[in-house]
Amino acid sequence: MRNFLVSYDLANPNRNKHVLATAIMSLGHAWARPLEQTWYIRAELKGTDVEARLAGLLDTDDGLIVQEIEDEGRLTNTSLRWFRQRRTAFDIEDATNVVAFPALPPRAQSEQTELPLAS
């Protein structure tokens, strides 16, 4: 299983923002969206496959970054919560798409937190 950072910049966000978000959520086993246009994806794909599946949804003046990442990252003023790939209600055994994550102790707002990106 690989972890990817996916970030995009849409020149016209109202045009295909939700289509792109749906495509990102369907790419792999799990996803997280710590910032508006920044996603983490856990998938059994290559980076070129992730890019190929998303590039067709972009206009010529949109930007996309797909980067395979290591197991840890630094987040400031945000948190990371993994969710399973969206599935129909008939496919869900435990009736939830939330993946458990460790609870973090309270911290100062400006303090950076290092979180594991792989489970």
For position 115, what pLDDT does the model report? 56
71-112 pLDDT, tens digit per residue, is: 667 777 777 777 775 544 444 454 444 444 444 444 444 444
State the pLDDT confidence band at 15, using cuts at 50, 70 and 90: confident
Indicate the domain borders of the chain.
2-116
> H-type helices in 2-102, by residue range?
13-25, 47-55
37-76 pLDDT, tens digit per residue, is: 999 999 999 999 999 999 999 999 999 999 999 866 777 7
CATH annotation of 2-116: 3.30.70.240
Residue 53, burial from CB neighbour count under 10 angstroms (0-12, 13-18, 19+): middle
Cα separation of 66 and 40, whole Å?
Answer: 10
Q: Report whether 41 contacts 1 (CB < 8 A).
A: no
